[in-house]
Structure 1
Amino acid sequence: MPRDVSSPAAREQLRALAARAARPVAEGGPGVASPSAADAALEPGTRAAAVLVLFGVLDGSPSDHAADAAVSRDLDVLLLARAATLRSHPGQVALPGGRIDPGDAGPVEAALREAREETGLDTAGVEVLGELSPLPLEYSRHLVTPVLAWWRRPSPVRVVDVAESAAVFRAPVADLLSPAHRVVTVLHRDGQEWRGPGFVVHDPAGDHLVWGFTAMLLDGLFDELGWTEDWDRGRELLLP
């Protein structure tokens, strides 16, 4: 059975960040936080969604990069690679999540439900720390609430539906923070140029590039936590 391991410094920094976001969840259980993207007035055509940003000390193959003191070599975040056949964001690395359904009590319930459906996660072992401010995903017209969580009791995860996901994996946070794994992604689309942060993730099943919305969310999160390391912002990667 997976062991219950904790990294107090990282967990408490994440908890403090959730508290600063003014959408904390009460100690002792997942619960449902205060009203947010689920019941906020959305612009016409915009849909509410939620993603689970799940950290924990889980990986049997820790990073060999020494990061911030709060970031242990085996601190991970749960990610998945979307199936290449999907119409929306095919092949991209993402956080577990999706639209908030009418039956969901709010972003927390939606994020946990989607993570369970996509990765087989046992959500009983997840401690929800709180909701962060909703972020717009303009390309697909969603308003996304990140739900920050800690993996108290690790459970196995996997691809549940190959039509939805190509891979489910835990990325060592120290690897993401390593300057050697940071790039600026450049995308040309419809005559415009889009530039954003990117992370190269080395997974036993194959390397992944984290870019787009997920990379922007993680980049901002790491900045807010004070975990970001100096890296070469002149290193660019042109996306196909």
Structure 2
Amino acid sequence: MTHKQQRPDQPGTNIMLRPEDSPQWLTPLIGEIRSGEVDGTLRRKAGLSADSGPKKAAVLMLFDGQTTPTLPDDATILLTHRSPTMRSHSGQIAFPGGRVDATDINPVDTALREAWEETGLDRTKVTPLAQLGKIFIQASGYPVYPILAYWGKPGLHDNVRVVSPNEADEVFAAPIGELRDPMNRFTVSRGAWNGPAFRFNDYVIWGFTSNILDALIAHAGWELEWDREKHYDLAQTLAASRNNERHF
């Protein structure tokens, strides 16, 4: 994918993990990732795959916030709303990301390139911190490598934008404080399946993205007690949301 950008991407640049440069408030989460604890949680929730397969993808979990010892009030994470016209995962809230290209050096390179294509993100201002185990996505049939990273510069929200409306028609830095708020947390279900969900700005975050957010918030020690007995029908919940998911 090629789009006009104010600043060109720099493929192959800034692709090494640097956990030593993490802000203190993300250090416990990085420790949980490196120990395999987060992978263990996602194995139970979303399914980790040992099958590499011919197709792979990577997503960028980009945090922003002041360099304080504990979770800062201004902490955010970068999310996008996938265009309802997309062929797959249309209308869903997602992390920036996409398929690994043959020219990508590693999953960090993929995640940063895709984030640039979708949001105009300047990869040189990002600090890659950790990589989770690959997560198998049943809908697409191939594994995804989630990359944890930190922005660390003023105003992430002011440095990203909608680049290709046909791919992602909204880009936003979602406040962690709102995501962890018990009032914005619930469970969605469809038949025998159920999973965690978040409500943000009249959107519903569910599926792959919500499973990762749920695990990150829990393992970082940011989780607040919420009513896990609140189960809502997925189709009805999405119909009442801003998601505009075609298959619902």
Tell whether 2:178 aligns with 1:160.
Answer: no
Whether contact under 8 Å (1:53, 1:77) holds in the other structure is: yes
Aligned to 2:186: 183
Whether contact under 8 Å (2:52, 2:142) holds in the other structure is: no
Residue deviations 1:154-204 (CA, integer Å, cap 9, x gap): 4511110010012100111111111100010113xxxx43210001112xx
* Correspondence 1:111-126 to 2 at 5 A: 111-126=111-126
* TM-score, scaled to structure 2: 0.74
Cα distance change on mapping 1:18 and 1:124 into 2, 3 Å: farther
Shift of 1:239: 2.0
Aligned to 1:200: 199
Whether contact under 8 Å (2:22, 2:150) holds in the other structure is: no
* TM-score, scaled to structure 1: 0.76
Whether contact under 8 Å (1:21, 1:131) holds in the other structure is: no
Residue deviations 1:33-88 (CA, integer Å, cap 9, x gap): xxxx9xx8524xx6211100000128xxxxxxxxxx82222100000000001110
* Runs of 4+, deviation exceeding 6 Å: none
Partners of 1:14 and 1:122 in 2: how far apart?
Answer: 24
Shift of 1:16: 2.6
Partners of 2:33 and 2:230 in 1: how far apart?
Answer: 32
- SS of 2:144's equivalent in the other structure is strand
Cα distance change on mapping 1:112 and 1:7 into 2, 3 Å: closer
Aligned to 1:27: none
Shift of 1:237: 2.3
Aligned to 1:16: 31
The correspondence for 1:221, drawn from 211, 216, 221, is: 216
Whether contact under 8 Å (1:185, 1:237) holds in the other structure is: yes
Whether contact under 8 Å (1:14, 1:129) holds in the other structure is: no
* Correspondence 1:54-69 to 2 at 5 A: 54-57=62-65
Shift of 1:12: 2.2
Tell whether 2:41 aligns with 1:42.
Answer: no
> Which segment is superposed worse, 13-22 or 85-94?
13-22
Whether contact under 8 Å (2:58, 2:144) holds in the other structure is: yes
Identity %: 40
- SS of 2:56's equivalent in the other structure is strand
Unaligned runs of 5+ in 1: 1-5, 23-36, 59-68
Partners of 1:236 and 1:138 in 2: how far apart?
Answer: 22
Q: Which has the higher helix share?
A: 2
- SS of 1:160's equivalent in the other structure is coil
Q: Look up the equivalent residue of 1:47 and give its one-letter code.
A: K
> Which segment is superposed worse, 8-17 or 152-161?
8-17
Partners of 1:89 and 1:180 in 2: how far apart?
Answer: 26
Partners of 1:186 and 1:139 in 2: how far apart?
Answer: 16
Whether contact under 8 Å (1:186, 1:194) holds in the other structure is: yes
Partners of 2:28 and 2:63 in 1: how far apart?
Answer: 12
Q: Which has the higher strand share?
A: 1
Shift of 1:13: 2.5
